[in-house]
């Protein structure tokens, strides 16, 4: 299977599984909603019956905003101008790349989302690999089947990511960057040095990300129980077809950039109200699709190269009859 | 008598200096002839010399100890070569009879009158065998060597860039005795006016900028033979200034522009800019022109023929500092168009030519007189001449700018630095001598609170009145050393009012201000009672509503404020409150209900740290605003969740 075919096949599989996208979007929505409710209370209390609320409702009341930030804590402290429009994306990517501090309450939401994603990802890959409707019970059965395995995989992944985002990042950006720029008198040079270090950070990060992606795919498609074995199998797959694996990853990354670009053009400013929220949700849906596309296209590539489309070793699980059936059925 | 120059400045301390830069060793070697006229009313029996670079000589200097107080230890990991120093090697008094007195053999010693720190060597003293009588003259020949610290506050070297400031042995100010302080981290400088004639020798081909006007350029190395390193000597002179700074680098790109306005002296503006900032050159000029135009119009004309803007390189640590007719103004490689970077810092430092350069207050004791007045002034200029100015934040290692076109920065709050002031409004007061301010809040007092204080006065009296105050103060104290009382006396004189209460509340105290509308009700006027076993309730005034407004003073600061109530028919009622009590009640009987109440509706008191609570309405929009912004925030959080989910 060609890379481009895997890419297109991935998109088609997502199209044929709309509930996956809806479900993942709903996950982010439901995790974010309670915290948004907390913030709503804080903002409402801060503005009270003040006339300042009118400007805040119709546009950006930066004076009030600064007063709010000076008095608030917790969720409220994350309510900064960078949440407006495309700045939100820039801020989050910058936080990710620079390993910026995330407040505890937000970290809780992030971890919750990761745990939920870890639970769902087995069912998601299973559904994308089968490329046909399996029903909710089979989907969640697959989720349940793989969550234990992916927790084990997650421990290994967490250790790797900790090493990358912890000591490796600190070494790059605290030690190497400072040493390389100590005598630099041209800001542009310092920036390009930083870009070089971002690349040095991204290469192992993307490699391990891809390695764990294919490990999950092989675990689901081939019904692997050993996660170390799945990682080894993933490594063999990538090693045998590095160009295809990296090219597909790059095309998917390009799709991510296209989505980002769309939001850059479409994101409304601070005056917009519900339209901004609607466009924001559309953008989140597109981000969900990109995320699914990584899984779907990589699954398609793997099945196209080592198995066949729609192949999974594990049969579709069927729920047994309810115990109540014994009472009403023939003895 | 102290002679006076053409500009009207006294020629109190005059310097004739030769200095050579050795880039390899990172040193300067200099000799100077100081001609000093005693401007005081008493004889001088000793002299004081500042050797500022000794602040970087050891980690126990007063300057660095003060930085340590706020956890800043810039030389913690520095190697020995990073330190700087200034060593006087010869100090000779040239007597009137042609003889010389070697003052190095007298009691020439480091003193520390401010904090008795024996490790501080930034201020030196020596006794004079023959006192200098009032109006008398003394001539000193000083030779010294100085080593640049690595790029550090306002001075130093990085790469091929040298910013040479506070670099020569310099006399203190003699008033009723010597006013001379050690070098403190908070404070800047204080010196007397005089004439400077300075010859600076630097590597051939390097660009040089300095205080004053270039007189000549010679190549001394030709006289020393072909084998000598090629050097060039620049000679700059300037009368009527109280300091001299210079810079040199082979990397500067040079631009020139002339500032002309009818009735004003022409000024040759010279910009020495880093190549990566060259595209911003016009914006540098815009900032400088705005300062010369508006400060000149509001306060008094800039009298010097030149103004040199130095754009320092990245990490130079000399990003914004003023010296007479020359200043540094740092900027960034990427600078969005509709932000005031670099305009703001150029404007601010150019503005210091007026407030510091000409009106030369003691910056060690009353920095607010130049920093605060200048901040207030540049904020006003930004408002009238440099718009739009949107909020910018930087991401990805503080490199990539993002501009918020929804958030124009306003004079009253943003460019007066209210948001910074609000964080620590009560840790010090403006009246505390600058060097003694807590290092972490020095800027908050000298710059931010002062700007807010002056803008509050402007809102009390109008800009026209305030401009008269400032221009009169400028005219009276140009080429002089004013004290805080000089400013307040001018204010009292122009306004015809005594500002004792204002000075106590705003200038001398560290009080915070916060007024609020605590309660707003509008109800039908009824009387309810109980008499002779019967409860009664009657509408005592038909179709009338009693509006009750409770105003509170939430913090210690007291300030007279207006209370404005708006009624449903558009009618407004205004009351005055002296603001002294903790609360006050205002009632209004009207045939209509009130829709809003505001305390200090025009926001005269810009020092009020929380203005949101200054109003209440019966038709609040807080639910709509909270819904809107919490939903916008939610998209940000969802994006963060999606970004972090990359790892799963």
| Domain formed by B1-251, architecture | Sandwich (2.60)
In chain A, domain spans: 3-31+83-314
Q: Could you say which of A31, A92, A121 has the minimum Cβ distance to residue B648?
A: A121
Selected for mutation to probe chain B from A149, A191, A194, A255 (highest B CB count within 10 Å) is A191
The whole-number pLDDT of residue A178 equals: 95
Which residues of chain A neighbour B646 with C-beta distances below 8 Å? 96, 209, 291
The whole-number pLDDT of residue B273 equals: 98
The whole-number pLDDT of residue A329 equals: 65
The whole-number pLDDT of residue B457 equals: 98
Distance to chain A for B53, nearest Cα, Å: 21
Distance to chain B for A58, nearest Cα, Å: 8
Q: Could you say which of B400, B625, B642 has the minimum Cβ distance to residue A284?
A: B642
Partner-chain contact A53 B622, CB within 8 Å: yes
The whole-number pLDDT of residue B150 equals: 83
User: How sure is the predictor about B225, in pLDDT bands with cuts at 50, 70 and 90?
Assistant: low
Q: Could you say which of B612, B621, B645 has the minimum Cβ distance to residue A57?
A: B621
Partner-chain contact A117 B645, CB within 8 Å: yes
In chain B, domain spans: 1-251, 269-510, 515-621
The whole-number pLDDT of residue B222 equals: 64
In words, the CATH class of domain B515-621 is: mainly beta
Distance to chain A for B457, nearest Cα, Å: 20
Distance to chain A for B627, nearest Cα, Å: 6
The whole-number pLDDT of residue B279 equals: 97
Report the CATH fold assignment for B269-510.
Neutral Protease; domain 2 (1.10.390)
Q: Does the pLDDT at position B545 exceed 90?
A: yes
If 0-12 CB within 10 Å is exposed, 13-18 middle and 19+ buried, where does residue B227 land? exposed
Is B446 within 8 Å of B430 (Cβ atoms)? yes
Average pLDDT over residues B472-489: 98
Q: How far is it, in rounded angstroms, from Cα B468 to Cα B141?
A: 44
Which residue stretches of chain A have pLDDT < 70?
319-321, 325-326, 329-331
Partner-chain contact A50 B612, CB within 8 Å: yes
By C-alpha distance, the chain B residue nearest A102 is B640
Length of chain A: 331
Q: Could you say which of A96, A114, A276 has the minimum Cβ distance to residue B648?
A: A114
Q: What is the pLDDT of residues B305-355, one digit of tens each?
A: 999 999 999 999 888 999 999 999 999 999 999 999 999 999 999 999 999
The whole-number pLDDT of residue A331 equals: 56
Partner-chain contact A53 B620, CB within 8 Å: yes
Which residues of chain A neighbour B78 with C-beta distances below 8 Å? none
Lowest mean pLDDT among B71-85, B418-432, B628-642: B71-85
User: How sure is the predictor about B221, in pLDDT bands with cuts at 50, 70 and 90?
Assistant: low
The DSSP code sequence of A53-89 is HHHHHHS--HHHHHHHHHH--GGGGG--GGGSTTHHH
Is A207 within 8 Å of A178 (Cβ atoms)? no
Distance to chain B for A287, nearest Cα, Å: 7
Q: What is the pLDDT of residues B183-217, one digit of tens each?
A: 999 889 999 999 999 999 999 999 999 999 999 99
Q: How far is it, in rounded angstroms, from Cα B317 to Cα B411?
A: 27
Partner-chain contact B642 A288, CB within 8 Å: yes
Contacts (Cβ under 8 Å, ≥6 apart) of A48: B612, B613, B616, B620, B622
The whole-number pLDDT of residue B226 equals: 65
Question: Could you tell me the two tokens for B537?
Answer: 């309730």
Which residues of chain A neighbour B315 with C-beta distances below 8 Å? 181, 184-185, 190
**B1-251 and B269-510 in the same fold:** no
Partner-chain contact B639 A284, CB within 8 Å: yes
For residue B185, give the DSSP letter.
S
Q: What is the pLDDT of residues B238-271, one digit of tens each?
A: 999 999 999 999 999 999 999 999 999 999 999 9
By C-alpha distance, the chain B residue nearest A154 is B648
Distance to chain B for A307, nearest Cα, Å: 24
By C-alpha distance, the chain B residue nearest A106 is B637
Q: Of B574, B525, B569, B571, which Cα lies nearest the Cα of B547? A: B525
């Amino acid at each position: 299977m060609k890379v481009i075919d895997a890419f297109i096949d991935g998109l088609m599989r997502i199209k044929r599984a709309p509930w996956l996208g809806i479900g993942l979007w709903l996950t982010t929505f439901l995790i974010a909603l309670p915290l948004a409710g907390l913030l709503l209370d804080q903002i409402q209390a801060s503005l009270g019956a003040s006339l300042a609320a009118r400007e805040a409702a119709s546009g950006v009341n930066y004076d009030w905003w600064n007063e709010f930030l000076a008095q608030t804590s917790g969720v409220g402290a994350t309510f900064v101008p960078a949440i407006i429009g495309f700045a939100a994306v820039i801020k989050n990517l910058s936080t990710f790349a620079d390993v910026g501090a995330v407040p505890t309450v937000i970290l809780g939401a992030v971890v919750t989302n990761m745990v939920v994603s870890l639970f769902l990802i087995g069912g998601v890959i299973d559904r994308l690999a089968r490329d046909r409707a399996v029903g909710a019970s089979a989907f969640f059965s697959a989720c349940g089947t793989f969550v234990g395995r992916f927790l084990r995989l997650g421990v290994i992944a967490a250790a790797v990511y900790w090493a990358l985002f912890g000591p490796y990042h600190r070494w790059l950006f605290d030690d190497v960057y400072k040493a390389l720029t100590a005598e630099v008198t041209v800001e542009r040079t310092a920036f390009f040095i930083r870009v070089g270090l971002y690349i040095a950070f991204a290469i192992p990060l993307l490699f391990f990300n891809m390695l764990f992606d294919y490990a999950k795919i092989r675990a689901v498609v081939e019904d692997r129980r050993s996660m170390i074995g799945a990682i080894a199998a993933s490594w063999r797959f990538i090693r045998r077809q590095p160009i295809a694996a990296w090219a597909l990853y790059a095309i998917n990354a390009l799709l991510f950039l296209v989505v980002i670009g769309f939001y850059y053009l479409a994101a409304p400013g601070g005056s917009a109200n519900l339209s901004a929220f609607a466009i924001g949700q559309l953008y989140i849906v597109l981000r969900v699709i990109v995320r699914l596309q990584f899984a779907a296209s990589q699954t398609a590539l793997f099945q196209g190269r080592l198995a066949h489309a729609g192949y999974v070793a594990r049969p579709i699980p069927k729920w047994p009859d309810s115990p109540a059936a014994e009472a009403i059925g023939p003895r | 008598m102290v002679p006076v120059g053409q500009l009207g400045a006294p020629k109190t301390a005059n310097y004739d200096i030769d200095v050579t830069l050795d880039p390899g060793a990172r040193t300067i070697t200099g000799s100077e002839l100081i001609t000093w006229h005693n401007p005081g009313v008493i004889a001088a029996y000793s002299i004081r010399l500042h050797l500022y670079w000794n602040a970087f000589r050891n980690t126990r200097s007063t300057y660095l100890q003060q930085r340590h107080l706020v956890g800043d230890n810039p030389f913690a990991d520095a190697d020995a070569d990073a330190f700087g120093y200034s060593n006087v090697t010869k100090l000779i008094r040239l007597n009137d009879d042609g003889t010389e007195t070697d003052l190095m053999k007298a009691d020439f010693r480091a003193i520390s009158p401010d904090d008795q720190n024996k490790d501080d060597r930034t201020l030196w003293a020596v006794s004079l065998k023959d006192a200098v009588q009032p109006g008398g003259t003394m001539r000193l020949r000083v030779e010294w060597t100085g080593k640049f610290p690595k790029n550090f506050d306002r001075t130093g070297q990085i790469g091929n860039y040298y910013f040479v400031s506070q670099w020569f042995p310099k006399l203190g100010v003699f008033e009723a005795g010597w006013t001379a302080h050690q070098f403190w981290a908070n404070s800047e400088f204080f010196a007397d006016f005089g004439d400077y004639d300075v010859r600076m020798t630097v590597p051939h081909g390097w660009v040089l900028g300095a205080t004053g006007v270039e007189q000549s350029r010679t190549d001394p190395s030709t006289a020393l033979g072909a084998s000598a390193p090629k050097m060039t000597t620049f000679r700059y002179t300037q009368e009527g200034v109280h300091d001299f700074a210079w810079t040199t680098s082979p990397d500067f790109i040079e631009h020139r522009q002339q500032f002309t306005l009818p009735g004003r002296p022409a000024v040759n503006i010279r910009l020495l800019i880093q190549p990566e900032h060259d595209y911003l050159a016009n914006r540098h000029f815009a900032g400088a022109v705005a300062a010369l135009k508006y400060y000149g119009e509001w306060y008094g004309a800039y009298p010097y023929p030149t103004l040199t803007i130095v754009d320092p390189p990245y990490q130079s640590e000399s990003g914004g500092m003023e010296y007479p007719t020359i200043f540094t103004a740092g900027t960034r490689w990427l600078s969005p168009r509709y932000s005031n970077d670099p305009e703001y810092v150029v404007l601010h430092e150019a503005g210091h030519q007026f407030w510091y350069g000409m009106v030369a207050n003691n910056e060690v004791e009353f920095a607010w007189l130049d920093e605060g007045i200048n901040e207030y002034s540049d904020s006003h200029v930004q408002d009238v001449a440099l718009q739009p100015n949107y909020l910018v934040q930087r991401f990805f290692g503080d490199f990539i700018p993002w501009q918020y076109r929804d958030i124009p920065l306003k004079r009253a709050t943003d460019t007066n630095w209210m948001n910074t002031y609000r964080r620590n409004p009560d840790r010090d007061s403006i009246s505390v001598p600058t060097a003694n301010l807590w290092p972490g809040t020095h800027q908050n007092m000298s710059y931010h609170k002062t700007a807010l204080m002056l803008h509050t006065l402007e809102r009390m009296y109008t800009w026209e009145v305030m401009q008269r105050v400032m221009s009169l103060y400028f005219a009276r104290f140009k080429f002089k050393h004013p004290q805080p009382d000089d400013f307040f006396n001018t204010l009292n004189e122009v306004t015809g009012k005594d500002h004792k209460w204002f000075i106590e509340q705003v200038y001398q105290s560290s009080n915070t201000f916060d007024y609020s509308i605590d309660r707003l009700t509008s109800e039908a006027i009824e009387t309810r009672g109980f008499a002779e076993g019967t409860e009664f309730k009657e509408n005592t005034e038909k179709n009338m509503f009693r509006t009750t407004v409770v105003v509170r003073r939430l913090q210690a600061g007291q300030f007279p404020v207006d209370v404005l109530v708006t009624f449903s028919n558009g009618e407004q009622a205004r009351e005055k409150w002296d603001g002294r009590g903790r609360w006050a009640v205002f009632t209004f009987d009207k045939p209509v209900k009130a829709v809003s109440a505001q305390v200090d509706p025009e926001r005269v008191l810009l020092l009020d740290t929380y203005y949101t609570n200054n109003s209440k309405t019966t038709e609040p929009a807080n639910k709509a605003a909270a819904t809107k912004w919490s939903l916008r925030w939610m998209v940000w959080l969802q994006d963060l969740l999606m970004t972090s989910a990359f790892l799963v």
